[in-house]
Structure 1
């Protein structure tokens, strides 16, 4: 069964992050997708929280090769204790994401794991658009 990864923030395809150089050979871009979630500004990066209120977050889907190695590197970046993908500021869980084609895939997603009530909601569905507009202000 293929391993997919859905990313919505600093791991997006068009975001310049040096860490991606370590895993780029193991990421095959599949396309844009969306997931039912609310997006929050956490300072230097965003956090998504699952939502069933009709909110959506847009991100990129990648097909992973050597998934265990890639996820170990990304877990460390996301502050997840080694071997504990269910603990930390972010947690990694599988969830359904809908590709632009309409196809749904089950992908790994890094969810924000703390209470977002003190955080600034991001009204844009797309973090990269939010950053562009934020820098214009």
Structure 2
């Protein structure tokens, strides 16, 4: 007889801006305390300078990559809740960002990660050709 209990799938988050290592703000510190760093990650898409923070728009057909970091969350419900607040995710979908799952490359492995996707027009934003917020 097969065991009906299936262990929960690990929850991962992909961050590409002010939540990465080296940024000193309460939300980045809390994320790093409540998760385990998995590695550098990337996925196809475009990265833009919104202000003092970036906005990412994944696009499987893009010739550019969005670069960031992947973390495995110890308590996904709690951590995602405070990250949603930081990223201005609104339950009605009209916040500055929306949270969606995307496939992210970490080395040779693909992981399904939560990601905060910019949810407004990018028409007047400056693109970041490197796709890396640290290399403007």
Task: Determine if the TM-score, normalized by the shorter chain, exceeds 0.5.
Answer: yes
Match of 2:103 in 1: 96
Aligned length, in residue pairs: 127
Instruction: Indicate if the aligned counterparts of 2:21 and 2:28 stay in contact, CA closer than 8 A.
Output: no
| Distance 1:113-1:33 versus aligned 2 partners, 3 A rule | same
Match of 2:58 in 1: 50
Identify which of 6, 17, 23 aligns with 2:25.
17
| Distance 1:8-1:110 versus aligned 2 partners, 3 A rule | same
Unpaired runs of at least 5, structure 2: 1-8
Deviates more, 1:52-61 or 1:1-10: 52-61
Q: The residue matched to 1:123 in structure 2 has which SS?
A: coil
Q: What displacement does 1:57 show?
A: 0.8
Match of 1:135 in 2: none
Which has more radius of gyration? Answer: 2
Deviation beyond 4 Å, 4+ runs, structure 1: none
Match of 1:106 in 2: 112
Deviates more, 1:111-120 or 1:15-24: 15-24
| Distance 1:24-1:70 versus aligned 2 partners, 3 A rule | same
Task: Provide the alpha-carbon RMSD of the alignment.
Answer: 1.4
Report the TM-score, using the length of structure 1 for normalisation: 0.87
Q: What displacement does 1:23 show?
A: 3.4
Report the TM-score, using the length of structure 2 for normalisation: 0.87
Q: Distance in 2 between matches of 1:14 and 1:20?
A: 9
Q: What displacement does 1:125 show?
A: 1.9
Specify which structure has the higher proportion of helix.
Answer: 1
Q: Distance in 2 between matches of 1:125 and 1:80?
A: 22
Instruction: Indicate if the aligned counterparts of 2:58 and 2:66 stay in contact, CA closer than 8 A.
Output: no
